[in-house]
Amino acid sequence: MVKNSITFLSFLLLSSCLFAKSKQQKFIVYFKDKPTTEIVQPAFSEKAILKRIQFNIPFDERDYPISVAYKQQLEQASIQIIKQSNWLNAALVWADEHQLQQFHFIASYQKVENIKQKNEIVRNGTEANKENTESQTFEDHFLSSFPQTHLLNGEYLHEQGFNGENMTIAVCDNGFYNVDSNAAFHHIFEEDRMLGTFDYVHNDSLVYDESGGAPNFTSHGSNCLSFIAGKIDSQYIGTATKSNFYLFHTENNSSERLQEEFNLATALERCVQIGVDVVSISLGYTQFDVASESHDTLDMKLNSTPAAKAVNIASSKGMLVCVAAGNEGAKPWKYISTPSDADSAFCIASVDLSGNVAASSGYGLATDTRVKPNIAAVGVNAKYIKTNGTISTGGGTSYATPQIAGLAACLWQAFPSKTNWEIKTAIEQSASQYLSPDKRIGYGIPDFKKAYQLLATTTAIKNNFLEDDFLVFPNPIQHSFSIKNMGLSTINQIQFYDYSGKMLLSFNAHSTNELDISHLPSGIYFIKVETDNGNVVKKIMKD
């Protein structure tokens, strides 16, 4: 399906047909180029910079902001910028025909996508929730949530002491009604592990308040979060309850529009800046309320949607992005939705507790050579915590996805020197049909004990002790410092970075070395120790 994208010339020739005179509408304006001279590192958190150093992820053009001159030209044409995406080099704007014609003559942009106005409608929820207060038969320490975790052998990670500590997970959804007052999430707030929230639909930080519309739909984000973070003593425990969290509301509850993909792209961009490790996205897009915005199956192969582009960029920046495959398997569309179609998306399908694929779970594209979906988790009669704090059951790939996101965070906690790609690959290799993937559940149902063993065998490192194998002293430093190797790893190289992520010095090193940095100014620095068993980064202060 051809989208309503128009170049400069066609925009001018057809404007009288496309727009009602002087009537403002929303547009996504994509720019042709971008300046790359600005220092962008101050926009990134310390954790984000540390991750880039550890995994050799460079700052590139996508990290740089949109041209200030272009934004000023928009303002001069009285065009209101609603949101902007550095990654997409695009702005979401309010404008009318006359304003955009003015902008054409003074700016260089690549294309414009028109988000046509239409009366907003309340759409049907895509998840089949079964609200009930059934009595539970509790088992093991995981109680009502044990069966769905056990299918993935996820309890093994918890038994080894990995519950997501020091990992940061972001959930992008339609709002998180009542999370701040739901007792199942009190432990996050009491321990100051709710690091931030933002509503990209209403442009504020209020994500707990939206309760209008279809009840099952507005509770969707809260339900999904419970699979990761929910905790009720003697009843329920999520897959990564001790992680840090960001909650981002990107989905408009009253309509299905292309703008929601732009919201998601903006949220993912922010996730990279603040150092998020794992993102859980239980959203998917195929057909919109305005037909001209809708996608076709070709889009799903080309990574061409705004959401798919953003997921691929996010993955290239070191994040593991888990995305629901979608629930169109028994519907005319049938296939997965975007952004689960992105090359780098960890696309999650839905199965029942016996491992049988859910009829609703989206298929991989018929002629696609990629393995999509990637893996599967329980999304049939899955247990979650409702917004009123009681336990219920529901279905859909939306509910399978956060289970994987949480356990992936726990696995990564165990092997912090591994990259997002290595964590994803180990999970896939542990799955039930890794050697014969299909278009329903991809590589199959993962086994997180096997994934742990695969990573442990490859590196010969048990748990996360590499961090404790190296002592940097003194700290703070005045003139020189030493690194003492207290483990069995061989140091290959030591690199010295400033706070912006710029490498200043590189040393060949072995077990104990005294390194002179007296010529450097006072401030915060990072030391990256490269070993035969992985890398570790230490923060130091120079007086």
Give the mean pLDDT of 312-321: 96
Tell me the backbone φ, ψ of residue 156, rounded to 5 degrees.
-60, -40
505 - beta bridge partners?
496
Burial annotation 141-164 (CB, 10 A radius, 16+ → b, else e):
ebbbbbbbbbbbbbbbbbeeebbb
Give the mean pLDDT of 354-379: 95
What percent of the chain clears pLDDT 70, i.e. is strictly above it? 85
CATH topology of domain 465-542: Immunoglobulin-like (2.60.40)
Structure tokens at 247: 């909650």
Mean pLDDT, the chain, as a whole number?
A: 84
- In this predicted structure, what is the pLDDT of residue 210? 77
Distance between CA atoms of residues 228 and 242, nearest Å: 9
Domain range summary for the chain, segments of one domain joined by +: 5-115, 133-459, 465-542
Element (H, E) at 542: strand 534-542
Give the mean pLDDT of 208-236: 81
pLDDT digits (tens, 9 = 90+) for 404-427: 999 999 999 999 989 999 999 999
CATH topology of domain 133-459: Rossmann fold (3.40.50)
Structure tokens at 285: 């897009």
Residue 83 has pLDDT above 80, yes or no: yes
Give the mean pLDDT of 189-204: 96
- In this predicted structure, what is the pLDDT of residue 136? 29
- In this predicted structure, what is the pLDDT of residue 261? 95
Residues 193, 244 contacting (CB under 8 angstroms): yes
Distance between CA atoms of residues 15 and 361, nearest Å: 41
User: DSSP state, 43?
Assistant: G
Residue 9 has pLDDT above 80, yes or no: no
